[in-house]
Structure 1
Amino acid sequence: MSLTTGTSPVGPRPAGRFNKPMPDSAGLFYLEPCRPRIRGQSGDVIVVDSTAASLLHEHGQLPVLYFPVDDVRTDLLEPNGTRAHSPGKGEATGLRLSVGDRVVQDAGWRFDQPEWDALAGLIAFYLPAMTQWWQEDEPMPGHARDPYHRIEVLDTSRRVRVLVEGRVLADTTRARALFESGLPTRWYIPPRDVDASLLADSATRTTCAYKGQARYVSMRVRPDQPDDKQPDLAWIYDEPLPDAARVAGYVCFWNERVDLEIDGEPVPRPVTEFLGGPTPLLGLLPPAMLERPRPAD
């Protein structure tokens, strides 16, 4: 996501400056080869198997995998009767996937007469259309990984305090700062420096392609409501992916939903188009939503 979202160079809110006028990012596409072998399967049937996939980068969007039609079991696909126009790409034809008794109505799309000829002969899928995706021989969590995305975790002795309505939820000088492409700095706090009496486990679970699966924590701010109705304020990666291994078990509060102080100075709440938390496992979207921002890190 580092090229196209958040504060990235061609994202909605670039953090830096260019020395020359740049073209309008909205409607700008960049298609490049995807290096790993990518496979998608439905049940025990391999629907797509490609060493020639491409990644489409687009302003305000997560990267999307496109596959050559020769690498796809097109005998398992048929038009689903849905069509939607995508500016700069053309009219998308929605595809239905049928594998045995499993039928996915909105499985993917193709551009039969694309406005941009680079998309000719390519098919894209919504991730939940498959029961499993693979990069080489490893499961692919969340969305397709962006080759330009970077995570760095650093120990910090800066004092980090987290408050909600004046109540201190966490106070530490032993945080770990997670710097991630295009996103606000996230402050991961050891559990012993968090007031657990104000927190409750949440049923929310999300998946990040770079950090793994997170479980969420809510705050008991409404005494008359049960724990499962309280707002989610933080997340924890119990078994993160290798890039985020050093934040395992640490608590990270949503900068957007709490008051954060660093060395006594309040930190403005960031504005993120994707809520600012770990990437939700993408839901099945109809082709009409092709151009809308999807959840991301």
Structure 2
Amino acid sequence: MDDTEHAVPVEDGPKRVRAYFGGQLIADTVAPKLVWEDRPYPGYYFPREDVHMELLTPSGRGATSEALGEASCFDVVGGGRVAEAAAWQYPEAPVEGLRRLIRFDWEAMDAWFEEDEEVFVHPRSPYVRVDILASSRHVEVVLGGVTVADSHQPRLLFETGLPTRYYMPQVDLRMDLLLPSDTSTPCPYKGNAKYWSVAAGNEVFEDVVWTYPTPAPESVKIAGLACFLNEKVDLHVDGVLQERPDSPFS
């Protein structure tokens, strides 16, 4: 990454990036900066000349970043709507190359595009890879003393920084023990997940199974398969009980 002498990693982004709000194009650049400011994934920073600054008005609010200092905030106006303090700039940032750049609140914008494909949740990190491999390993899942899944045909998903996930055909699950959940979570690499809870051993285990009915194109190999949360189930692989991993989902 560039600017490695600074506490905040900064890197030139190779993709065209656009942000929309209120039906209007707010920012459009082929020279974004990827900045790992305060999370494990980056944020996009736009050169001012690639931002429709006429749609930004000083908000009168301030904000402070431990890494980048004091921020000047802007309201974003588009289509008769206002997103308050949804853009900001760090004029005194320790990374000089960031001082004239603008960052937008991801969730406050209506849509984001990398090239001509819409992107959800947050920018995709160039350092995250997702591999999905067919396997013949024997995978069993036990909850409340009940075997709720038993498969010899899983697909293993390897995602940088996360535990291996074992996706199985639904015919290999005790679907009679699964309870539909209203929970849904988005992922920029895989798509939108739908969840089940499991009723086993006189107990209900909430939201421990998920599936991607229509995953992102790069993850189509797990479409319709079901995966259990390793962190909250007893997972046996080839007869060996796996240690429950420590992860952000533990």
- The answer to whether structure 1 residue 143 and structure 2 residue 122 are counterparts is yes
In structure 2, the gaps of 5 or more residues are none
After TM superposition, the structure 1 = structure 2 runs for residues 1-297 of structure 1, keeping only pairs within 5 Å, are: 28-58=7-37, 60-220=39-199, 231-273=206-248, 275=249
Please state whether the residue corresponding to 1:145 is helix, strand or coil. coil
After superposition, the Cα gap between the structure-2 partners of 1:78 and 1:160, relative to the gap in structure 1 and judged at 3 Å, is same
How many positions carry a matched residue from both structures?
A: 248
In structure 1, the gaps of 5 or more residues are 4-22, 277-297
The CA deviation at 1:123 is 0.9
The CA deviation at 1:95 is 2.7
Inter-partner Cα distance in structure 2 for 1:180 and 1:206: 16
After superposition, the Cα gap between the structure-2 partners of 1:164 and 1:95, relative to the gap in structure 1 and judged at 3 Å, is farther
After superposition, the Cα gap between the structure-2 partners of 1:81 and 1:264, relative to the gap in structure 1 and judged at 3 Å, is farther
The CA deviation at 1:112 is 2.0
Deviations 1:10-60 (A, max 9, x none): xxxxxxxxxxxxx99xx8322111111111111321000111111113575
Instruction: Give me the identity figure in percent.
Output: 38
Deviations 1:237-275 (A, max 9, x none): 1111222111110001111121211112111111112x2
Q: Please identify the structure whose Cα radius of gyration is greater.
A: 2
After superposition, the Cα gap between the structure-2 partners of 1:265 and 1:202, relative to the gap in structure 1 and judged at 3 Å, is same
Higher mean alpha-carbon deviation, 45-54 vs 102-111, is at: 102-111
Q: State the structure with bigger RCO (CA 8 A, min sep 6), 1 or 2.
A: 1
The CA deviation at 1:120 is 0.9
Contact (CA 8 Å) 1:95, 1:106: kept in 2 or not? Answer: yes
Inter-partner Cα distance in structure 1 for 2:117 and 2:22: 17
Please state whether the residue corresponding to 1:170 is helix, strand or coil. strand
After superposition, the Cα gap between the structure-2 partners of 1:124 and 1:60, relative to the gap in structure 1 and judged at 3 Å, is closer
**TM-score, length-scaled by structure 1:** 0.77
Inter-partner Cα distance in structure 1 for 2:37 and 2:21: 27
Inter-partner Cα distance in structure 2 for 1:258 and 1:266: 10
After superposition, the Cα gap between the structure-2 partners of 1:36 and 1:60, relative to the gap in structure 1 and judged at 3 Å, is closer
Q: Which runs of 4+ in 1 moved over 4 A?
A: 221-225
Structure number with higher strand proportion: 2
Inter-partner Cα distance in structure 2 for 1:34 and 1:196: 44
